[in-house]
């Protein structure tokens, strides 16, 4: 399996162990993981720390030139907020583990020239399917429903 998706899944599993929502993300530049993150709504009482946002925050302040060489991995199809962050920074490539359990604005991302690959990974989908079944209210809160 893709080593970067594997690193994102490791973040998702860490989140699950902490009692959080199991979504993980890594930012890769020139083959190197420069940031890792996981959804921390529960852990930090946060409304903005989706996995991809936490990952971008942990990667620190980067230049536009760095973002333009980056690929953002997420175990799940990025939501409106995280897609917006991808657009703000001009991150050209996104790899999502799956989009069966949640479907972000993929068409819009592509219309703004982001290359988006959805891997349909069964491990990512199983993590979310089990979590949503066990914690539907928390999941709805996380996606503004």
Catalytic annotation present for 52: yes
Q: How far is the CB of 1 from a second copy (least distance, A)?
A: 28
Complex with a second copy: residue 108 or 122, whichever CB lies closer: 108
| φ/ψ (deg, to 5) at 94 | -130, 135
Options 6-14, 85-93, 119-127, 128-136: segment touching a second copy (CB under 8 A): 85-93
CA distances from 22 to 48, 111, 121 (A): 15, 28, 14
Q: How far is the CB of 12 from a second copy (least distance, A)?
A: 19
Complex with a second copy: residue 104 or 121, whichever CB lies closer: 104
Is residue 106 at the binding interface for a second copy, with CB under 8 A as the rule?
Answer: no
Write the CB contacts of 22 (distance below 8 Å, at least 6 apart in sequence).
12, 13, 15, 16, 38, 39, 75, 127, 128, 131
Complex with a second copy: residue 51 or 121, whichever CB lies closer: 51
CB neighbour class for 8 (10 Å; exposed up to 12, middle 13-18, buried from 19): buried
Strand order in the sheet with 93-96: 32-38, 24-29, 70-74, 93-96, 115-118
Q: Which is catalytic among the residues 32, 52, 57, 106?
A: 52
Q: Which residues are near a second copy by CB under 8 A?
A: 41, 45-48, 53, 56-57, 59-64, 67, 79-85, 87-90, 105, 108, 140-141, 143-145
What residues act catalytically?
52
């Amino acid at each position: 399996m893709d080593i970067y998706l594997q690193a994102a899944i490791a973040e998702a599993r860490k989140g699950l162990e902490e009692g959080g929502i199991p979504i993980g993300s890594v930012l890769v530049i020139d083959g190197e993981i420069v940031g890792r993150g996981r959804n921390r709504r529960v852990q930090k009482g946060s409304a903005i720390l989706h996995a991809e946002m936490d990952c971008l925050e942990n990667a620190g302040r980067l230049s536009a030139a760095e973002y333009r060489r980056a690929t953002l991995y997420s175990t799940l199809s990025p939501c409106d907020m995280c897609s917006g962050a991808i657009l703000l920074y001009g991150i050209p490539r996104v790899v999502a583990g799956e989009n069966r359990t949640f479907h972000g604005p993929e068409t819009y991302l592509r219309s703004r020239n982001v290359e988006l690959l959805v891997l349909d990974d069964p491990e990512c989908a199983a993590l979310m399917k089990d979590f949503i079944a066990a914690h539907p209210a928390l999941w709805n809160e996380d996606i503004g429903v």
